[in-house]
């Protein structure tokens, strides 16, 4: 047990180290595009880490996490656009001004995503199995159609805000500095996940996944535990959405679409469900594949689909699963 723990820790450190090394190395060679790709991988990895808390550790197969990703993005876009116009975001019940301070926007994005997760989770967790998947998907789709039919913030066209938000002491426009922010938040989320999953709460969550009836029998109601995990998960994904909005300086309904939910899920599964750094590896590989396959064919998504299919059918543990299994056999 101890040995495998060490091996897992080593793999986690290697994955995170590779991500940082890619960004730093690319910066040294003056390759700004690759730094941006690494930033994207860190952000998607963060979203995957968020989903993994609910999906990997809690067994909650949410197909609606794009909702939280998009909410985080829209909060960021809305605050930033109001800040540049000098108008308040809302004046009821009290005046909230726009902002372009990341440190002010992140809590807002996480709060909004968390509230949405509370409502969606409270309703969806009344169901289980296939119902849960479809209900979370449907709620996310509801927000997607809402964003499309709400012209105030761009509707179908999305919302551009031109200037990246600021972080005290850093130039967020410098690719490596923005990468540093994203990677630091990813590291915090990873440590948070590691601590939470080892805590009494996290262990109960995993117990409820493995055997719900037995958990009930020892006197724990899984509902509240699962809802808490779902909300925490939504908040982390909301933060990732905020970072993604800042990366592109643009938000659109596509951040809320079910393709996004599917992709976040792919990051988790590609890397390995319920493994700490699995989603980070998954996101990085996804972006790598996007680049490589995109260079081979215009129809690269079909190739991606076939590859995913092969992984599901023949390597159910994800890619980290392949690595560790080989490690254990050796």
Partner 1 sequence: MLLAEQALNGLQYGMMLFLMAAGLTLVFGVMGLINLAHGSLYMFGAFACAAVAAATGSFWLGLAASLVAAAAAGALVEMVVIRRLYARDHLDQVLATFALILVFSEGTRWLFGSFPLYLTLPPTLSGAVVLPGGLHYPLFRLVIIGFGAAVAVGLWWLITRTRLGIRIRAGEADREMIGALGVDIARLYTIVFALGAALAGFAGALVGSMQSVQVGMGEPVLILAFVVVVIGGIGSIKGALVGALLVGMTDTLGKALLPGLFARVLDTSSANTIGASLASMLIYILMAVVLILRPQGLFGARA
What gap in Å lies between CA 181 and CA 252, rounded to an integer? Answer: 23
User: How near is the Cβ of 302 to partner 1 at its closest, in Å?
Assistant: 3
Which residue, among 58, 80, 81, has the nearest Cα to 209 in the 3D structure? 58
SS3 64: coil
Which lies closer to partner 1 via its Cβ, residue 174 or residue 325? 325
Which of these segments, 7-15, 135-143, 195-203, 283-291, binds partner 1 (CB under 8 A)?
A: 135-143
Which lies closer to partner 1 via its Cβ, residue 19 or residue 264? 264
Residue for token pair 């490596």: 176
User: How near is the Cβ of 171 to partner 1 at its closest, in Å?
Assistant: 38
Which residue, among 127, 176, 144, has the nearest Cα to 74 in the 3D structure? 144
Which of these segments, 55-63, 72-80, 218-226, 319-327, binds partner 1 (CB under 8 A)?
A: 55-63
- Total residues binding partner 1 (CB under 8 A): 45
> Which helix or strand (DSSP H or E) is residue 269 part of?
helix 258-271
Residues of span 199-228 touching partner 1 by CB under 8 A: none
What gap in Å lies between CA 123 and CA 127, rounded to an integer? Answer: 8
Per rule CB under 8 A, is residue 89 in the interface with partner 1?
A: no
Residues of span 231-260 touching partner 1 by CB under 8 A: 258
Per rule CB under 8 A, is residue 117 in the interface with partner 1?
A: no
In this structure, what token pair is assigned to residue 295?
Answer: 């260079």
Give the side-chain half-sphere CA count within 13 A for 212.
11
What gap in Å lies between CA 74 and CA 54, rounded to an integer? Answer: 22
Residues of span 150-209 touching partner 1 by CB under 8 A: 150-152
What gap in Å lies between CA 74 and CA 198, rounded to an integer? Answer: 33
- Judged by CB under 8 A, the residue of 13, 191, 224, 306 near partner 1 is 306
Which lies closer to partner 1 via its Cβ, residue 173 or residue 299? 299
Which residue, among 59, 44, 247, 66, has the nearest Cα to 143 in the 3D structure? 66
Which of these segments, 88-96, 215-223, 229-237, 299-307, binds partner 1 (CB under 8 A)?
A: 299-307
User: How near is the Cβ of 156 to partner 1 at its closest, in Å?
Assistant: 12
What gap in Å lies between CA 327 and CA 270, rounded to an integer? Answer: 18
Per rule CB under 8 A, is residue 295 in the interface with partner 1?
A: no
129: left (phi over 0), alpha (psi -120 to 50) or beta: left
Which lies closer to partner 1 via its Cβ, residue 83 or residue 137? 137
CB 34 within 8 A of CB 22: yes
Which of these segments, 12-20, 106-114, 122-130, 191-199, binds partner 1 (CB under 8 A)?
A: 122-130
User: How near is the Cβ of 203 to partner 1 at its closest, in Å?
Assistant: 21
**Interface with partner 1 (CB under 8 A):** 55, 61, 63, 123-124, 126-131, 133-135, 137-139, 141-142, 145-146, 148-152, 258, 262, 265-266, 269, 273, 299-302, 304-309, 312-313, 316
């Amino acid at each position: 047990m101890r040995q495998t723990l060490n091996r897992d820790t080593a793999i986690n450190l290697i994955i995170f180290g590779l991500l940082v090394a890619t960004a730093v190395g690319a910066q040294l060679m003056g390759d700004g595009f690759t730094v941006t790709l690494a930033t994207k991988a860190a952000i998607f990895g963060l979203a995957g880490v968020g989903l993994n808390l609910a999906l990997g550790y809690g067994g909650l197969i949410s197909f609606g996490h794009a909702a939280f990703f998009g909410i985080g993005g829209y909060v960021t876009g809305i605050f930033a656009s109001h800040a540049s116009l000098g108008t308040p975001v809302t004046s009821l019940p009290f005046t909230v001004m726009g902002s372009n301070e990341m440190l002010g926007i992140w809590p807002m994005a996480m709060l909004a995503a968390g509230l949405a997760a509370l409502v969606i989770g409270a309703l969806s967790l009344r169901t289980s199995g296939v119902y849960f998947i479809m209900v979370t998907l449907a709620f996310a789709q509801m927000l997607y159609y809402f964003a499309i039919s709400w012209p105030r913030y761009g509707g179908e066209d999305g919302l551009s805000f031109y200037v990246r938000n600021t972080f005290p002491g850093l130039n967020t426009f410098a690719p490596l500095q923005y990468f540093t922010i994203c990677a630091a938040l990813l590291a915090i989320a990873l440590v948070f996940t590691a601590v939470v999953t080892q805590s009494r709460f996290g262990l109960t969550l995993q117990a409820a996944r493995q055997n719900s009836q037995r958990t009930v029998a020892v006197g724990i109601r899984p509902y509240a535990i699962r809802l808490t995990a779902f909300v925490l998960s939504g908040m982390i994904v909301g933060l990732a959405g905020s970072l993604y909005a800042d990366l592109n300086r643009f938000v659109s309904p596509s951040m809320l679409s079910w393709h996004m939910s599917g992709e976040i899920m792919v990051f988790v599964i590609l890397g390995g469900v319920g493994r700490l750094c699995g989603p980070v590896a998954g996101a990085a590989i996804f972006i790598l594949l996007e680049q490589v396959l995109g260079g081979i064919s215009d129809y690269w998504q079909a190739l991606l689909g076939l590859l995913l299919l092969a992984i599901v059918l023949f390597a159910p543990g994800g890619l980290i699963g392949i690595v560790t299994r080989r490690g254990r056999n050796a």
